[in-house]
Amino acid sequence: MRIVSVVGARPQFVKLAPIHKAAIAAGVEHVIVHTGQHYDPMLSDVFFEDLKIGAPDVHLGVGSGSHGVQTGAMLAALDGVFDEHRPDWVLVYGDTNSTVAAALSAVKMHIPVAHLEAGLRSFNRRMPEEHNRVMTDHAADLLLAPTQVAVNHLAQEGLAERTVLVGDVMTDVLLQIRSEVAGSASILTDDLRLEPDGFYVATIHRAENTDDPMRLAEITAGLAALDKPVVLLAHPRVVAKAAMHGIDLTQGSLIAHPPLKYRDLIAAVLLSSGVVTDSGGLQKEAFLLRVPCTTVRTETEWVETVQLGWNVLAQTASELGQAVSRPRPPETDQTPYGDGAAASRVIAALAERAA
Ligand code: UD1
């Protein structure tokens, strides 16, 4: 069996790591295509090195652009790649422009497509990720759902027959890295001389939080007013937008810091008092590490984190302050994101259905 994985953005490189490992273990030929959506070394190369994935087999070098320009460039380039490799499966990950481009290209070439992280829904039709994930689920032949909630969404959309519950592959990586970094120092506590449990880790990068200057100013003011130092691991998008609108990312409690490698991020979160984020992955990682999370969004796809009390949604600066200072939630032994063996289930599901 030959699988072509198409990835392009930081969280997809994390999910690629356990899939690549499971593919090799199963003797499957695995071709990795990087669209080039993320190209900064700290958003891309370090993940391939740190998570021991090796270099991508194909790099499209598409780079940034408006949604149409970026997605269109990927579509145009992927036709030739799929034609050359003629895989049994094209595997697409999550909800990015790279995902929808690869799904569309493959389906038009009559190559079976599997969608990893299928069935997540925010029901917010203004999010580019929501367009991408809905269209990809309806185009794909096999829907690999991470949670029971995702399975239910797919059933409601008439997609139950194509759906398999495999668990969440990000949990596979997280559990492994957690055991490797547990008890170690963090680059943040070392570099910034912060005390364990004496700081928060923050990330903000989504279009709806960065592109409107009023919104970005509200969020930075909320972070700056928190009671402990807040290390903002600044995605290039937030750095660019803050500079454009004259918003200071180092004010009050706020300290801007470049993004971290995956294992450095996990070590930092483990030592922190809490996480404030608009990232999907980090909400779940905080839950799995049992670090309280505050999510700067109006909704979340990872509803289990909220239901279990480990994640609270906040919009305004004052909501943010209240959410971050809430008491620690009750402990839980629930495992809504699976057992850390999702990747081998993905490879088995693909092998069973390969023509
Ligand atoms: C993308 C995904 C988002 C995911 C995120 C993970 C889409 C629609 N969005 O958002 O779902 O959560 O990745 O980080 O696919 N930029 C750089 N260097 C880079 C990459 C981006 O400077 O390596 C800057 C550029 O100004 C670019 C902007 O960030 O225009 C946005 O990048 P883009 O890849 O379009 O979306 P993300 O915000 O990263």
- Nearest atom (ligand 1) to Cα of 65: 30
pLDDT in the model for residue 189: 87
pLDDT in the model for residue 190: 87
pLDDT in the model for residue 185: 86
Q: What is the mean pLDDT of residues 280-292?
A: 97
pLDDT in tens, 66-89: 999 999 999 999 999 999 999 999
Question: Sorting pLDDT into bands at 50, 70 and 90, what band is 103?
Answer: very high
Kindly tell me if the per-residue pLDDT of 355 is higher than 90: no
Three-state SS for the chain is CEEEEEECCHHHHHHHHHHHHHHHHCCCEEEEEECCCCCCHHHCHHHHHHCCCCCCCEECCCCCCCHHHHHHHHHHHHHHHHHHHCCCEEEEECCCHHHHHHHHHHHHCCCCEEEECCCCCCCCCCCHHHHHHHHHHHHCCEEEECCHHHHHHHHHCCCHHHEEECCCHHHHHHHHHHHHHCCCCCHHHHHCCCCCCCCEEEECCCHHHHCCHHHHHHHHHHHHCCCCCEEEECCHHHHHHHHHHCCCCCCCCEEEECCCCHHHHHHHHHHCCEEEECCHHHHHHHHHCCCCEEECCCCCCCHHHHHCCCEEECCCHHHHHHHHCCCCCCCCCCCCCCCCCHHHHHHHHHHHHCC
Residues 105 and 155 both lie in one domain: yes
Residues 143 and 261 both lie in one domain: no
Residues 311 and 342 both lie in one domain: no
Question: Sorting pLDDT into bands at 50, 70 and 90, what band is 40?
Answer: very high
Share of the chain above pLDDT 90, in %: 97
pLDDT in tens, 174-210: 999 999 998 888 888 888 999 999 999 999 999 999 9
Query: Which of 135, 205, 211 for a ligand 1 pocket mutation test, highest count of atoms within 8 Å of Cβ?
Result: 205
Share of the chain above pLDDT 70, in %: 100
In a domain, residue 331? The reply is no
In a domain, residue 207? The reply is yes
User: CATH number for the domain including 150?
Assistant: 3.40.50.2000
Kindly tell me if the per-residue pLDDT of 152 is higher than 80: yes
Mean pLDDT rounded to a whole number for the chain? 97
Query: Which of 59, 96, 203, 208 for a ligand 1 pocket mutation test, highest count of atoms within 8 Å of Cβ?
Result: 96
Residues 98 and 201 both lie in one domain: no
**pTM, 2 dp:** 0.96
Give the pocket of ligand 1 (CB within 6 Å). 9-11, 37-40, 43, 64, 95-97, 128-129, 205, 236-237, 240
Residues 184 and 319 both lie in one domain: yes
Residues 156 and 188 both lie in one domain: no
pLDDT in tens, 217-230: 999 999 999 999 99
Ligand 1 centre to CA of 74 (Å) is 14
In a domain, residue 330? The reply is no
- Nearest atom (ligand 1) to Cα of 207: 38
pLDDT in the model for residue 154: 98
Q: What is the mean pLDDT of residues 298-310?
A: 97
pLDDT in the model for residue 183: 86
- Nearest atom (ligand 1) to Cα of 99: 15
Q: What is the mean pLDDT of residues 34-45?
A: 97
Q: Which domain holds residue 235?
A: 176-324
